[in-house]
Structure 1
Amino acid sequence: MNQNHANFQARLDFIRNLLRERFGVDEAKIDTIQYDPESPFKYNNFVYRITLPSPPSAAQDNSSHETRQPGTAPLPQGAKEFIMRLTNPDAEGMHAHTRIENEVAIISLAAASLSGFKPHVVPSVYGWGSAAPPSSQGWILQELMPGASVSEAFNGMPLGAKQSILAQIAEILKALQDFQLPSSIEQYGGVTFDGAGQIVSTAMTSVGSGPWLLYEDYFRDRLERALQQADSNTYIKGWHANGVRKRLEAFVESGVPAQFKALESRDNKTIVHADFTPDNLLYDASTQRITALIDYDFACILHPSYEFLRSFSGAGGQFQGWSDIESSERTALRDAKLQGFPSTLPENTEDGVKWDVAKVWEDELERLDVQRPRTINGIEKVADVDAVLRSILPWRVTNSDVLRLQSEAVILKCRNENEAQLVKLLDHLGF
């Protein structure tokens, strides 16, 4: 049986018991969302739509304001539909200890930063349970947000409709950047709740370490951990062959500090969604208004540049570091993001850069004075550090699901191609 589907009934039983014990609900219709029982890849979360035969009464919300969990709102009167998110304990690279706490705390921060949007675009949380031991299952019960996925319609929209969506994305990003973080958040990384319910710094969910005093420290730690993981990989073997490992260690030691000297705003920190894509945006097709920004699983507190390194695929493109295999138009797009777009845009290509969309995205960011690659001096240096990080643990040679689906010959080919690219990247960086 597929690994995702193995505990399918157990998850349904968990939800029914939770609704009964926590919210006094005896009957509920539970439907999976975006769930493929045959998917060969492990889901990070299992998401369900909960439909009740009647709204829960106020008495069934058994928490007063004084005893309510931090980051939660009371069950709304009249609501019969909700979203339940269950963490997958087998998801690779996701660390259980503060995973739920981080997501709920970031949702609280995002809701505060985007409070000016009407109607609200951040889902309310009505209850949650930690995924940290001794718990066997993390969960979040939250608001069912209206709207359809932007990703399903964006490519087919006329440019004017795309501009409307991109303008709203820019407004959301601006609000996240401008939000004054609580003084209790002192470091970069994840967040959690302390004993008094304050949001404080903690380890980062997708890393399992931190928090860090400096943005630079985040990358140094990630690189060092990646090298440790590479040591245990059967195919990579720590990149010790051909002298690559010594070059990587030299880069971590002296290259990273040198790269970050160029980042003038290195002390800035902000809410970073880290998966801010059309897949995680909902909208109302009749009004062309964004109705929700969802899925804060990877969200964290980092430098504003990090959002551009991880988000915006399908809406102007991520900002990526140097690569010898990227197309010339990708290089031209990165240069345009840093130096300005040409007065006459190149033609769009079928599977390549959509120049008109990228220019509209840049114009909307500029209109609102959003921090973006052109205004974040030194972002290209940070992106190159990130490119090294991505190259140390290439997905096709390290992910257990991918490895299971590939032949030994294909894996070795991927490994060797990646080493060649890594060597060229180190050459480019002077290491």
Structure 2
Amino acid sequence: MNINQEGFQRRLDALQKILQQYNLKSTQVTPIAYVEHCPFHFNNFIYKVDLEAPATPATFSRQQPCTSAPPEEGVTTLVIRMSNPLAEGLNNANRVENDIAAQHLARQSIQSAGLPPVVPAVYAWAPCRYPDVPGEEGFGWTMSEFKPGSDLDGQFPSLTLDDAIDVIQQLAKIFAAIQGAKIPETVTKFGALTIDDSGAIIGGQPPLLKGGPFNSYAEYWVAILQAKLSEADESSFLKGWKYGGLREKIDKFLASGGVGKVLESVDTDKRVLVHGDLTLNNVLYDSATKRITSVLDFDWSAVTNPCDEFLTGLWDIGGGIHERNEKFLPMLLSGDFSTQPEGLSADDVRKWEVAKAWDKAVAEAGAIRPSDISGVDRIQVLKELEDSLCPFELANEVMLKRKSNEEKLKKKNEMETKIRKLLETYENHG
């Protein structure tokens, strides 16, 4: 059975109880982005809900923090998103709160920039209460505006180059507004967001890490690396790198300020709102109007160094610091796209044109690019260490079963070589 099929009806029952809280009735409930045969727990269960009668401002008479009222005429379609506390590796302490607070800040900034309201309005929400409230009724949830459009990642490859560049320019302005969102004075550290008892946005625990918020960018990175080590400990194949003295070297690096040494030339005080998963899969596009209609899924959002956005997303348009952009990475890091690399295939030429257009559009929008970040190569080193400490394909049991022993051993040896080389570099040179 599909692992996500378990609880399917219970989730629909819980959804109906959410609607009942607001005296709403559904005529149809349709799962969104539900893949029948996925071997992993979904991070969220998302439903499009058609209503019998419109939800109006009066429906949400007790307006919660970081929410918006629907238009006076009301809305007849909603999206209800239930955060899955059973998904692997997630911290549910304030996951829903982080999502809606980040959306709120992004929406405000996008509005101030005079851009279309592409971040859906949130009408109501509830925090995760699982496992204190057992079962699906303990899941955290949001009730949001429905936005039309289709996932941009499915449409982007078939767009003409002119249309692709046009959509890139739209996205760059939205990106600049998200990055330029005003961080509340009550948010003073690195990490995610949450909401206090008075309704103020404050610093919170990241959805992918235990603990936090963190006093410094270095402390934040130490927590990220320690979390990866904990995952490696649980891997039946990696076994926490506890052989040949490697684990002792890693532990010493983290305990003796190794991360701080790596970050010595970085502006570690800079903090911005980072979406955390800004890929074309989280962007909706209307092919008829050729406009971006929505930017979705602020689940992994954080207040952190601007470089982190490029480490986790934007790789599918040539804007991310990612191995898939290897051919264009020097240009991305230097900001110099004046010379097209030699020997590119027709497909790679298009990717290069898109990457060049993105870099130019981001600069014109006044946002920070990788080439604007002093010490970006040092942050790259930490990302490489993170990726090496516990690669998904060597930690997840489903993925391990898909690889031969030879493939697994080859990957493990590659990662070990990378880890040792990095540790030796900073032991010797600082």
TM-score by length of 2: 0.90
Amino acid at match of 1:30: V
CA–CA distance in structure 2, aligned partners of residues 334 and 413 of structure 1:
25
Mapping 1:113-128, distance limit 5 Å: 113-115=109-111, 116-128=113-125
CA–CA distance in structure 2, aligned partners of residues 87 and 403 of structure 1:
27
2:321 paired residue number: 319
**Residue 371 (structure 1) shift:** 0.8
For the residue of structure 2 that corresponds to 1:47, the secondary structure is: strand
TM-score by length of 1: 0.90
Mapping 1:256-405, distance limit 5 Å: 256-263=259-266, 265-320=267-322, 330=326, 332-341=327-336, 343-346=338-341, 347-349=343-345, 354-403=351-400, 405=402
1:166 paired residue number: 168
Residues 285-319 of structure 1, C-alpha deviation per residue, up to 9 Å, x if partnerless?
23322111111111111111110111102111421
2:80 paired residue number: 84
Residues 331-378 of structure 1, C-alpha deviation per residue, up to 9 Å, x if partnerless?
x52221222435330253367672221111111122233211111010
Cα distance change of structure 1 residues 350 and 33 upon mapping to structure 2, 3 Å threshold? farther
1:42 paired residue number: 41
CA–CA distance in structure 2, aligned partners of residues 206 and 365 of structure 1:
28
Cα distance change of structure 1 residues 132 and 17 upon mapping to structure 2, 3 Å threshold? closer
2:93 paired residue number: 97
CA–CA distance in structure 2, aligned partners of residues 175 and 355 of structure 1:
25
Cα distance change of structure 1 residues 337 and 75 upon mapping to structure 2, 3 Å threshold? closer
Please say which of residues 73-82 and 403-412 is displaced more in the overlay: 403-412
> What is the alpha-carbon root mean square deviation over aligned residues?
2.3
Kept after mapping to 1: 8 A contact 2:231/2:395: no
Amino acid at match of 1:349: S
Mapping 1:118-267, distance limit 5 Å: 118-133=115-130, 134-135=132-133, 136-252=138-254, 253-263=256-266, 265-267=267-269
Cα distance change of structure 1 residues 81 and 255 upon mapping to structure 2, 3 Å threshold? same
**Residue 9 (structure 1) shift:** 0.9
Cα distance change of structure 1 residues 352 and 345 upon mapping to structure 2, 3 Å threshold? closer
For the residue of structure 2 that corresponds to 1:242, the secondary structure is: coil
Is residue 2:7 matched to residue 1:7? yes
CA–CA distance in structure 1, aligned partners of residues 337 and 188 of structure 2:
41
CA–CA distance in structure 2, aligned partners of residues 359 and 233 of structure 1:
40
Kept after mapping to 2: 8 A contact 1:97/1:132: no
Kept after mapping to 1: 8 A contact 2:25/2:51: no
CA–CA distance in structure 2, aligned partners of residues 78 and 308 of structure 1:
38
CA–CA distance in structure 2, aligned partners of residues 300 and 388 of structure 1:
20
Kept after mapping to 2: 8 A contact 1:273/1:307: yes
Cα distance change of structure 1 residues 228 and 6 upon mapping to structure 2, 3 Å threshold? closer
CA–CA distance in structure 2, aligned partners of residues 404 and 25 of structure 1:
46
Cα distance change of structure 1 residues 308 and 7 upon mapping to structure 2, 3 Å threshold? same
Kept after mapping to 2: 8 A contact 1:348/1:356: no
**Residue 50 (structure 1) shift:** 0.4
Kept after mapping to 1: 8 A contact 2:284/2:292: yes
CA–CA distance in structure 2, aligned partners of residues 137 and 28 of structure 1:
23
CA–CA distance in structure 1, aligned partners of residues 401 and 127 of structure 2:
31
Q: Which runs of 5+ in 1 are unaligned?
A: 321-325
Cα distance change of structure 1 residues 231 and 58 upon mapping to structure 2, 3 Å threshold? closer
Cα distance change of structure 1 residues 343 and 192 upon mapping to structure 2, 3 Å threshold? closer
Cα distance change of structure 1 residues 97 and 14 upon mapping to structure 2, 3 Å threshold? same
